[in-house]
Amino acid sequence: MLDRIRDVESSGREVRIDILRYGLSPAEAQLVEAAVNDSLGLGADPKLGSQRQSAIELNARLTKRAKFKRAHQVVLLRVGGRGSDTSYEAVRHGWRIGRRWTDIESRRSPEWAVIVVGELVAAVYRIERWEATPLRSRTERRHVAASTARSTYRFSFAGTIDAELERRYVGKSVAGHLGAGTPSPITYVWCGPHWVNTAI
């Protein structure tokens, strides 16, 4: 930074210096310096590091984790990012869930559909049944067949809001259940093919 100031002054221009805070301890001064560097997009001093992130990212980090009880066999259904439509009719259709997990009499099948927006729980439905829905077009069938080599059916759940589980889980983060990389739109917790709670 000092070299940059000297370059400006040597070209005949004036350097403006603003004092943002004074009377700080060394630790407080470093915190202010790091925050200013982050806000102005300046290279972060390796000693200070950078914590710059969007408010959405920070909110997800600070949000309490959803800790699903073992008795709550849920399937997490990710519907997109912030602003996604979470109405019942919008979220219940078109899931590529394994046919064997659609038998609600099976003890390994999910009992609740947890609707997830980004990494946060938006709604919880008690599943009453699954309905097979044939894919509509030949192109849609070919795309799914090529990507999964499985059935040309997707499934829609029918169910009702579970007010008790919504009080427990809505607004909480499921990031620990989604794993690294690009998460699947469908994740089973305490049920399905994994039968274990894999949350960190």
pLDDT for residue 189 is more than 90: yes
DSSP state of 95: B
Q: What is the pLDDT of residue 199?
A: 44
pLDDT top residue among 168 and 17:
168
Q: What is the pLDDT of residue 49?
A: 65
Split into its structural domains, the chain has a count of 2
In a domain, 183, yes or no: yes
pLDDT in tens, 76-121: 999 988 889 999 999 999 999 988 899 999 989 999 999 999 889 9
pLDDT in tens, 120-151: 999 999 999 999 987 655 544 444 444 444 44
The whole-number average pLDDT for the span 68-75 is 94
Phi, psi of 54 (to 5 degrees): -75, 160
Answer for the pair 114, 77: CB distance below 8 angstroms, yes or no. yes
Question: Do residue 128 and residue 88 come from a single domain?
Answer: yes
Question: Do residue 133 and residue 69 come from a single domain?
Answer: yes
Question: Do residue 172 and residue 87 come from a single domain?
Answer: yes
Whole-Å CA distances, 82 to 77, 176, 179, 197: 14, 18, 19, 26
Question: Do residue 46 and residue 76 come from a single domain?
Answer: no
Question: Do residue 75 and residue 151 come from a single domain?
Answer: yes
Q: What is the pLDDT of residue 145?
A: 42
What is the residue range of 7's domain?
Answer: 2-52
The whole-number average pLDDT for the span 25-43 is 78
